[in-house]
Amino acid sequence: MIADVLSLIGLVLTLIGAWRTARAVFLREDDAIHIGLARFASDSREENLQLPAVQNLLASSRGAQRGLWLIVAGTLFQIVPIAWRLIGSA
């Protein structure tokens, strides 16, 4: 019982940490343009979005988000049976 409680606490902390990190790596297109291009780049947002540095920032952000959301999902799959067992034994 105590092991399940500690496991549940650990998984909840992992879930919260992954969720917060996923939110932190979210990068809007306009932010990627601002960060990833030289100041002498085009005035067109569409052209700026095609620049390699901007595309790289956006791809990194999307990849990090996908990975962290998978951690969130996996953690939830681990939490459910533990919580179910704890509720059933109460």
Segment 22-42, tens digit of pLDDT: 777 787 888 887 777 666 667
pLDDT at residue number 39? 66
DSSP 11-55: HHHHHHHHHHHHHHT---HHHHHHHHS-TTS-S-HHHHHTSHHHH
pTM over 0.85: no
Number of domains in the chain: 1
Residue 3: which pLDDT band, with cuts at 50, 70 and 90? Answer: confident
Residue 23: domain span: 2-89
- Statement: residue 83 has pLDDT above 80: yes
44-76 pLDDT, tens digit each: 888 878 888 888 888 888 888 888 888 888 888
